[in-house]
Structure formats: structure tokens, C-alpha cells
Amino acid sequence: MKTSILMTFFLLLMAAPVSAKKLKKAKPVRYLNKIYGQVHQNSSRFSRVISTFECGQPFKVQHFGDDEFSKVTYASYEGYILTSHLSKRRPKDCWQDQYRKYFDFLNLGISEMHHWGRLQDLFIEGSVMP
């Protein structure tokens, strides 16, 4: 009896760090690389917009989608964003940072920020490379 209790205790002790490691496994962080970007309720460009974010905004990626969208979270926000709008490192060419005062003086309203983010979603992008 004593030995079985000891064995169980020993096994639990061994398993503890593994489960802790599993818990600690952080979700990858990706940064918004467009001037403004939008998180949608579903993985569609025309799905309801949950919120608009500024360039450089970090998101925790819950799931990299097979389609063009990834599931992300930020604070209490959870939704889908175009994978091409995310980058591994914080972008250094955000207009809001590069031309801070110029951008400040443009004095964009909430509606304009929303439309600017919307625009990024609706562009069909392509390139011709050899």
C-alpha cells in the first residue's frame, strides 16, 4: 500500500512540470502591418467588423487559418484578420510612427480610420515577379 502511494506521488511529481509547460506554451504574437486593420467576426472580408486597430498592434494568434484569415485575440477582442496583414516583427514603416506629426495633423476621425481599415481589406493585391 505504502509503495503504491509513493509511486503515485512520484508519478504526479514527474507529470507536474510537463503540464505546467503545456500551460505556459504561449500563443504566437503577430503585428499589424497595415496603416489600419480590422478584426472581423467571421473569416470573410465582408463579415461584421469587431474593431479597427492601428499599425503595429500586437495580436495573439489562436489559429493560422487554411484560408486567407487567421484567428486572433487582443484583450477582450477575438476575431479574424487577413493573414497578409500580419507580420512576425513589429513593422518599422508604420506611417503613424514614421510621419507622426504629419499624420496627427491629418486629424482623422473614427469614421475615417474605419474606412481606411476597410480599404485595406477590400484591395485585391497582386504582383508580377519573374
Partner 1 sequence: MKKILIFTLLLSGNTSTLSQEKALPVKNDFVDFNNIKSVLKKDGLAKTVKKKQIKHKKKVKIKKNKTKQFYNLPHNDVFWKMMTEYWLVKNSVILKWDFHKPDYGLGDYFEQFLKNMGEYGVKYKILYINSSNITHFGFPFGKDEYLFVISVPFIKIMDLSKLQISILLYEDLTRLKFNQFKSKFDPVLLGKLKEGNFYQKKFPAAEIKTFQEKVDKVVFESGFNFQEQYQVTKHLNNVFKSNKKFWQNYYSLLEKIDDLTKQNLMYKNYVKIYPSPELQLNWINPIKK
Cα of 101 vs its chain's centroid, Å: 27
Q: Which of 114, 123, 120, 102 is nearest to 50 (CA)?
A: 114
Does 129 sit near partner 1 (CB under 8 A)? yes
Among the listed ranges 18-26, 58-66, 80-88, 115-123, the one in contact with partner 1 (CB under 8 A) is: 115-123
- How many binding residues for partner 1 (CB under 8 A)? 24
Distance CA 77, CA 110 (A): 18
Does 130 sit near partner 1 (CB under 8 A)? yes
For residues 82 to 111, the per-residue mask of contacts with partner 1, x marking binding by CB under 8 A and - elsewhere, is -------------x--xxxxx--xx-----
Which secondary structure element, helix H or strand E, spans residue 23, and what is its range? helix 2-24
Q: Which of 33, 26, 28, 19 is nearest to 87 (CA)?
A: 33
Residues that bind partner 1 (CB under 8 A): 35, 46, 95, 98-102, 105-106, 112, 115-116, 118-119, 122-130
